Structure 1
Amino acid sequence: MENGGQLIDRAEPAVLPPTLRAGLALVAVVAALVVVAVGSWYAGHGRPGAVDAWIQPAVDDAGAPCRRIALAIDFLGEPIGAAVLVGAAVVGCLLLRSPRAAVQFVGGAGVAVGATKLLKPLVGRTIHGDNLSYPSGHTAFLTAFALTAALLAAGRIGLGPRAGALLVLAAALVAGAAMGWAQVALGAHYPTDVLGGWCTALAVVPATGWLVDRWKAG
């Protein structure tokens, strides 16, 4: 701990690598605009939009084996599954003496999911009756988790801006696509709900990382 009462050791690599800050700030702004734009478009709706109607039939054709895979992925976004994932990540970070990284795993995922919970009643989009659906919290969680892991890996490996950005965005895309597919296949969300959840994570995780890197006492 340094002078000034900082809670996190400054010798530890930053959660948000300096080489990626500008690029991810732009991504976060664009993602936030997408969340607002899509949410405004579908506010109060209880039916699929044109994009949803185009994508859903292909996903709904998944057979029994694919449904089991979808259920397994979906579990990662359920309270128990999410707690196991985040708990394992926190333990690993503490074993590696990276408390800042542990805070980011909890904070990044928590803020992403919290943002979806705040947005759902504001948007008021529903599926299967009165179930609020936009944006997808499951998709936001797994995207935030993968994004945090990729950011920490990029910082520790010391990747440059291009390679680091590629790793981070690829991890977010793979995680978001996997959970998004599962949510649509299980009928829990419309495809545009998934897009909203993915963009929510892209919007809040860089901001959370920036705050964690500057966390001070008092």
Structure 2
Amino acid sequence: MTGRAAPALLASPLRAAFGPVAALAALVVAVLGFRYAGESGPGEVEARVRAEFEGAGSPWRQLAVATDFLGEPAGAAALIAAAVTGCLLLRWFRAAVLTVAGTGLAVGATTLLKHLVGRTINGGYLSYPSGHTAFATALALAVTLPAAGRLGLGRTAGPLLVFAAALAGGAAMGWAQVALGAHYPTDALGGWCTALAVTPATALLIDRAAGRRAIRTDRAAPPGPR
């Protein structure tokens, strides 16, 4: 043997919890995308929500602008670099891969969906689902999924920690997008659900790829002394 394998990104309690969550999130993304395909305005409920959040005065607008920056290329790159650096210092190599791949695939999925759905805002900008919200949610998941597994949290505490982090990250960025008039509320919900569908699946794929590599390495290693 080559040594003990690295802990899985998606430990059993998390896999049991986030499998159904990911499936439900994907369904929500599809339903909302079908509902708002080709539209260029808010629904009735959305209009009320936007009226509550848009035009926020100081200091809320400054907070929204700062939060929005964290989803822009420069801010997102800084957050990813910090998270990857922390993972490497802790020797959480799978987590470092998930940070890059999970956020990248979540944002990539929103970009593809925007062109498929065709919902627009502010004179023609594609809006559904929100890439900023997907990024913030995916980053929260990429950080807390491996942390919950490493800490050995149980079937209740582990999923609750991860879900709470994803909810906090997605809600903060989603609020900023609505407050700044960059997205409709359902765009933010769609971005949040996109990350919930994509990031756990990415973690599972990384675990399986790492497991297959470990098996090949063990088979190729010379036998030890008898």
2:69 is the alignment partner of 1:81: no
Q: Distance in 2 between matches of 1:149 and 1:161?
A: 18
Give, in angstroms, the shift of residue 11 of structure 1.
2.5
Which deviates the most, 10-19 or 125-134?
Answer: 10-19
Give, in angstroms, the shift of residue 152 of structure 1.
1.6
What secondary structure is seen at the aligned counterpart in 2 of 1:161? Answer: coil
Which string of whole-angstrom CA distances, capped at 9 and with x for unpartnered residues, describes residues 44-84 of structure 1? 00000123112111111421210100011001100011111
Over the residues paired in the alignment, what is the CA RMSD in angstroms? Answer: 1.5
Q: Distance in 2 between matches of 1:120 and 1:175?
A: 21
TM-score, length-scaled by structure 1? 0.93
Q: Distance in 1 between matches of 2:72 and 2:55?
A: 24
2:158 is the alignment partner of 1:169: no
Q: Does the 8 Å CA contact 2:9/2:207 hold for their aligned counterparts?
A: yes
Which string of whole-angstrom CA distances, capped at 9 and with x for unpartnered residues, describes residues 131-168 of structure 1? 00000000000000001111122111110011111101
What secondary structure is seen at the aligned counterpart in 1 of 2:51? Answer: helix
Which deviates the most, 59-68 or 82-91?
Answer: 59-68
Q: Distance in 2 between matches of 1:99 and 1:20?
A: 19
Question: In the alignment, residue 179 of structure 2 is paired with which amino acid?
Answer: A
The 4+ residue runs of structure 1 with deviation greater than 6 A are none
Q: Distance in 1 between matches of 2:51 and 2:5?
A: 51
2:26 is the alignment partner of 1:32: yes
Unaligned runs of 5+ in 1: 3-8
Give the corresponding residue for 1:141: 135
Q: Distance in 1 between matches of 2:89 and 2:43?
A: 47
Give the corresponding residue for 1:110: 104
Give the corresponding residue for 1:180: 174
Q: Distance in 2 between matches of 1:173 and 1:49?
A: 23
Give the corresponding residue for 1:6: none
Question: In the alignment, residue 9 of structure 2 is paired with which amino acid?
Answer: V
Give the corresponding residue for 1:189: 183
Q: Distance in 1 between matches of 2:28 and 2:40?
A: 20
TM-score, length-scaled by structure 2? 0.90
Matches within 5 A, 1:119-130: 119-130=113-124
Aligned length: 212
Overall identity of the aligned pairs, in %: 64
Q: Distance in 1 between matches of 2:121 and 2:151?
A: 43
Unaligned runs of 5+ in 2: 217-226
What secondary structure is seen at the aligned counterpart in 2 of 1:64? Answer: coil
Q: Distance in 2 between matches of 1:27 and 1:10?
A: 30
Q: Does the 8 Å CA contact 1:144/1:172 hold for their aligned counterparts?
A: yes
Which string of whole-angstrom CA distances, capped at 9 and with x for unpartnered residues, describes residues 32-53 of structure 1? 0000000100000000012311
2:184 is the alignment partner of 1:206: no
Question: In the alignment, residue 191 of structure 2 is paired with which amino acid?
Answer: G
Give the corresponding residue for 1:43: 37
Q: Distance in 1 between matches of 2:187 and 2:157?
A: 29
Give the corresponding residue for 1:58: 52
